[in-house]
Chain A
């Protein structure tokens, strides 16, 4: 079983809709959770991080964490074609220093 799992997609949503990206993790000691966006041919860009159960909002992005279910998600409201990218979920286990474990990524396509 992979430590961090994401549906590879592609997830296709129409412009203006809400895109919901999901991630599950296996290590209950995981303490920090990150979402990166990666455009084709570019390096990952940090867009959100969350540490506590519940929701964290930043502009059109909302990260949701449920540690009991070992589940973290990213919602993108009012999706734009420029949001089309691969979204990587990353998890840090408490005793792993600054090491991040990445999921395989979900490719999001926002259609005009």
Chain B
């Protein structure tokens, strides 16, 4: 399975500021995924980050609010911009198993609280 790390693991931020979350995978993968899990809810896909191209955003998510970088095959960042309390959530990075791309594994998540 892919080993995925994220940082920061948690943060408390002020309204109107931005936070960049980093995700590192221990193997090269073409696609990486960013999910949001709001309190007591399931996972919602924010966007798919392909190396060498623009990220693909799901309905309800826009690049200006959640810019994504994918500089190489093992790393991605998600920025939560101009934060409001409604952005308080857990943000999860995911990547497929490099040997079985049908399966996906998750990083430990970033717990964000916006005051």
Residues in chain A within 8 A of chain B (CB atoms): 32, 34, 36, 42-46, 49, 88, 92, 97-105
Contacts and interface: CB of A to CB of B under 8 A. Distances in A.
A43 B35 CA distance: 11
B41 A104 contact: yes
B1 A104 contact: no
A49 B31 CA distance: 20
Contacts of B108: 42-43
Interface residues of B, number: 21
Nearest to B93: A43
Interface of B: 1, 31, 33, 41-45, 48, 90, 92, 96, 101-109
Contact of A49 (B33, B92, B101, B103): B103
Given A43-B92, A97-B31, A102 B102 contact: no
Contacts of A101: 45
A43 B109 contact: yes
Given A42-B109, A49-B102, 16 more contacts: A34-B103, A34-B104, A36-B106, A42-B108, A43-B90, A43-B108, A43-B109, A44-B92, A88-B43, A92-B102, A97-B31, A97-B48, A99-B45, A99-B48, A103-B42, A105-B42
Nearest to A31: B102
A101 B92 CA distance: 14
